[in-house]
Amino acid sequence: MHTPRLEYQDYRVNHDARKLARSLGWFSIGLGLAELLMPGKLARAVGMEDNEGLIRLYGLREIGTGVGLLMTDNPEPWVYGRVVGDSLDLATLGVGMQRGDNPVGAAIAATAVAGVTVLDLACARGLGEEHHPVTLYDYSDRSGFPEPPERMRGRAAYGSIDRLPQVHGADAADRETETRH
Amino acid sequence: MRALRWHGKHDIRCDNHVPDPTIEDGRDAIIKVSSCAICGSDLHLYDGFMPGMQHGDIVGHEFMGEVMEVGKDNKKLKVGDRVVVPFTIVCGECDQCRRGNFSVCERTNRNKDIADKVFGHTTAGLYGYTHLTGGYAGGQAEYVRVPYADVGPVVIPDGLTDDQVLFLGDILPTGWQAAAQCDIQPTDTVAIWGAGPVGQFAIRSAVLMGAEQVICIDNVPERLSMARAGGAITINFDEESVIHRLQELTRGKGPEKCIDAVGMESHAARSIDSMYDRAKQALFMETDRPHVLREMIYVCRPAGILSIPGVYGGLLDKIPFGAAMNKGLTFRMGQTHVNRWTDDLLNRIQDGQIDPTFVITHKVSLEEGPDMYKVFREKHDGCIKVVLKP
């Protein structure tokens, strides 16, 4: 009576990766706005005070990537775009750590960027899994009913729990007691 | 004999040379297990969420088989009978049993004192389900001792296969009771969270009991396809808002009846309250993750009924009880009073009204059981229900 399973190959959306991609999109926009609107503060924090223009440029890049991630149906290239951007950020902060006025600040920022890069890579990997077909099972033939569900509707209608058979446990208990003795 | 035994979190093994059970009381019987199953609530043990397990405990509470030996006082069973054993051990004589409240039998929990302290009062003894419920050896084994075997076991008539009747011991009556507790009316919408085995049986039960509309919420496509086959409209919570969709399907009024077939390990991992629950669980400040319960209270139509077959184990946080009270919701819950429903359901199976085999997706040997715990837990390979053949 064990029903054979209907099996097929298909591509499956990775909802976790897509949700992460959206979160990264919002993060990009937030960071980009901060870089665009207060480049001086950020430049001082990482000891690169002469590079406000570059930080603004990076801010525009972040906003562009963020908007792309939020607007697209295919976030994968945009996530890889973020990974490239992370590399640029890390290279710039590396220069700041060697030649800037605040190497500690630059190192802290680089650590944070490295953490986000790990998330970006995990997201890219998750989205990449969508390209590989997986075995799925179709149980749409398993109703458990002898007729279509619409025709089974109400076959056991009681209306109230009080009218269900055997709800009065004493009857069942009496029956069992009689059986036993 | 061989048996699946709990050795710690995520560590269930098929052990050889486990001592065979023996008759300990005149009402006992020894059953040679022909089929047993892994239940969703076994996963709570596997994941280490239920306190009171001990190294070497035999797990499993869904099983059936042939009677090999009966105690001297047992007049109901005879050697050779085929029986399904309900997961609740019931005496049939105490006040609760006589009222039909079998899952809170007052006499069968051998560790009544512990249960009294933890829950305030004892509940029935259960097979393979912690020492809080008596520490009885479970049924994922070659042989099981069945205490009070002159009350609980259901004798199976000839002509029915194991697969057809095995689930009479737990998930079929659990889904049935979940729907029965809803007092279903012909105009009702019944929303069911969780398309696992209990959710699947709750869907079929709600349809049979005449609900106008049955809606099932999950995120596993295979499970949702099975739910649709049984007559449910489905909501994939990964793809759409549960609350908005339920409002849409009920013209803004909300479902009159809500069933929580998920319980303590809700996996709506991306909701804010789920993240909060996981953080509190990690800090040992909360035992259960009640996302479904919160969502049901929020979305249920005022004066509606919440039916909770999903297992909860301990302390729950941030339950919107103000909403529940002011909306006048009725809560009905509990472990299943299996013997209330078994005769009726057996008749329905014999009549062909429902064929419970639809839910079986994997049938393997007992030795493969530990691996199947992982597959079932991860919902891999389209797994919905695993049957083991010792």
In Å, how far are A117, B196, B332, B334 from B263, measured between CA atoms?
Answer: 36, 11, 14, 11
CB-nearest partner of A15 from B211, B238, B384 = B238
Say how many C-beta atoms besides its own lie within 10 A of residue B227's C-beta: 30
List the domains of chain B with CATH numbers: 3-169+336-389 (3.90.180.10), 172-333 (3.40.50.720)
User: Which of A26-35, A157-166, A171-180, B334-343 has the least mean pLDDT?
Assistant: A171-180
Give me the residue from B186, B340, B354 closest to A169, CB to CB.
Answer: B340
Q: DSSP class of residue B265?
A: B
**Min Cα–Cα distance to chain A from B153, Å:** 10
B127 - beta bridge partners?
Answer: B136
Average pLDDT, chain A: 87
- Spatial contact of A10 and A136, defined as CB atoms under 8 Å apart: yes
- Whole-angstrom Cα distance, residue B211 to residue B205? 9
Minimal CA–CA distance to B3: which of B24, B23, B21?
B21
Domain chopping of chain A, boundaries: 9-131
Distance CA B35, CA B37 (A): 7
Q: Is A8 helix (H, G, I), strand (E, B) or coil?
A: strand
The Cα A71–Cα A59 span in angstroms is: 18
Q: Residue B376 corresponds to which tokens in the numbers above?
A: 């079932």
Task: Tell me the two tokens of residue B143.
Answer: 């042989």
Query: What pLDDT shows up at residue A181?
Result: 45
State how far residue A13 is from chain B, nearest Cα, in angstroms. Answer: 10
Query: What is the reported pLDDT for B120?
Result: 93
Q: Considering only CB atoms, which chain A residues are within 8 Å of B355?
A: 1, 144-146
Tell me the nearest-neighbour CA distance from B276 into chain A, angstroms. 18
Only one residue has tokens 């279509």, namely A148
Predicted local confidence at residue A8, as pLDDT: 82
Radius of gyration for chain A, computed over Cα atoms and rounded to the nearest angstrom: 30
Single-letter code of the amino acid located at A87: S
Calculate mean pLDDT across residues B323-328.
97
Among B16, B7, B3, B1, which Cα is nearest to B369's?
Answer: B3
What pLDDT score was predicted for residue B110?
94
Task: Please report the pLDDT score of residue A2 as a whole number.
Answer: 59
**Close Cβ partners of B272 (under 8 Å, ≥ 6 residues apart):** none
B348 vs A contacts (CB less than 8 Å):
156
What distance in Å separates the CA atoms of residue B145 and residue B152, rounded to the nearest whole number?
A: 13
Contact A138 B225 (CB under 8 A): yes
In this complex, which of B163, B340, B353 lies closest to A2 when CB atoms are compared?
Answer: B163
* A168 pLDDT above the threshold of 90: no
Confidence band of B283 (pLDDT split at 50, 70, 90): confident
Q: Decide: B227 and B190 in contact? Cβ < 8 Å.
A: no
Hey, what are B233's tokens?
């409209």
Tally the C-alpha atoms within 13 A of residue A16's C-alpha that lie toward its C-beta. 10
Q: Of B331, B288, B341, B328, whose CA–CA distance to B307 is shortest? A: B331
Please give the residue of chain B at the shortest CA–CA distance from A4: B361
Q: From the DSSP assignment, how many helices (H) and strands (E) are in chain A?
A: 7, 2
Mean pLDDT of B101-130: 94
Do B340 and A172 make contact, defined as CB atoms within 8 angstroms?
Answer: yes
Highest mean pLDDT among A49-53, A100-104, B47-51, B153-157: B153-157
Rounded to whole angstroms, the Cα distance separating A36 from A53 reads 9
DSSP for A51-80 reads -HHHHHHHHHHHHHHHHHHHH-S--HHHHH
What confidence score (pLDDT) does residue B192 get? 98
> How far, in Å, CA of B184 to CA of A157, rounded?
8
B172: which 2 tokens? 């079929």
- CB-closest option in B75, B100, B204 to A180: B75
For residues A87 and B331, what is the distance between their CA atoms, to the nearest angstrom? 55
- % of chain A with per-residue pLDDT over 70: 85
A117: exposed, middle or buried (Cβ count in 10 Å: 0-12, 13-18, 19+): middle
A12 contacts on B by Cβ (under 8 Å):
221
The 10s digit of each residue's pLDDT in B214-247 is: 999 999 999 999 999 999 999 999 889 999 999 9
Q: How distant is the Cα of A125 from the closest Cα of chain B, in angstroms?
A: 19
Dihedral angle sign, alpha carbons of residues A141, A143, A145, A147 = negative
Query: Which one of B97, B220, B380 makes the best mutation probe of the A interface by having the most chain A beta carbons within 10 Å?
Result: B97
Whether residue A169 and residue B102 make contact (CB cut-off 8 A), yes or no, is yes
